[in-house]
Amino acid sequence: CTCWIEFMVASNIKVYIRVRPCGKPSASFQADPDRSTATFELDRLTDAEVNNSKLTHAYRFDGILPMSASQEDVLDTVAKPVIDDVLNGVNGTIFAYGQTGSGKTFTITGGAERFADRGLIPRTISYMFEAFRKSDYQYKMYISYLEIYQKAGYDLLRDDSAQQLEDLPKVTLREDEDGNTHLRNLSVNVAASEED
């Protein structure tokens, strides 16, 4: 499963879960998109020890995207409300969180083989440039791409000859004398078009 945490206006945080497609789903996990709940059933140990641990754990989310959810469904459900707020001047953040192999990269960047598999980043950029063209306002887009891997930040848009992630300079968090936060070694790139 990939968890989405969406920050919207002020403290309005929304959390979504996307259930990764798999050939043989676990019987101990149940997702109910209609009720926005995910339930985990743990096996009771059969040895002689007394185990009073809770065996069923249920969690409620703002939304559950089932195994059948398309990349377009993820955009419509998770990203478009945030993008629309950003276009109205409200800061927004979407990030993916989950264990290795849970589908974060596929959901964010997409698959390379089919156009329908484009992820949130290319779909969001396309959606924003479409909104720019329809608007009476003038916009300028700046893009940074930060990956946090094993507690270290890396700039994935850095024009560098590094062959491996660990060879890139680490992005570090700094606070200036006024209390403003800055990310050192994170590039900020102008995107004049969707292709940039």
Query: What is the DSSP track for the chain?
Result: -EEEEEE-STT-EEEEEEPPP-SS--TTEEEETTTTEEEEEPPPP-SSS------EEEEE-SEEE-TT--HHHHIIIIIHHHHHHHHTT---EEEEE--TTSSHHHHHHB-SS-GGGB-HHHHHHHHHHHHHHH-SS---EEE--EEEETTEEEETT-----SSGGGSPEEEEEE-TTS-EEEET---EEESSTT-
- Percentage with pLDDT > 70 across the chain: 89
Using CA atoms, how far residue 27 sits from 23, 39, 40, 116, in Å, is 12, 10, 9, 30
Confidence label for 72 from pLDDT (cuts 50, 70 and 90): very high
Mean pLDDT of 135-140: 88
0.85 cut: is pTM over it?
A: no
48 has a pLDDT exceeding 60:
no
Tokens representing 32 are: 């109910």
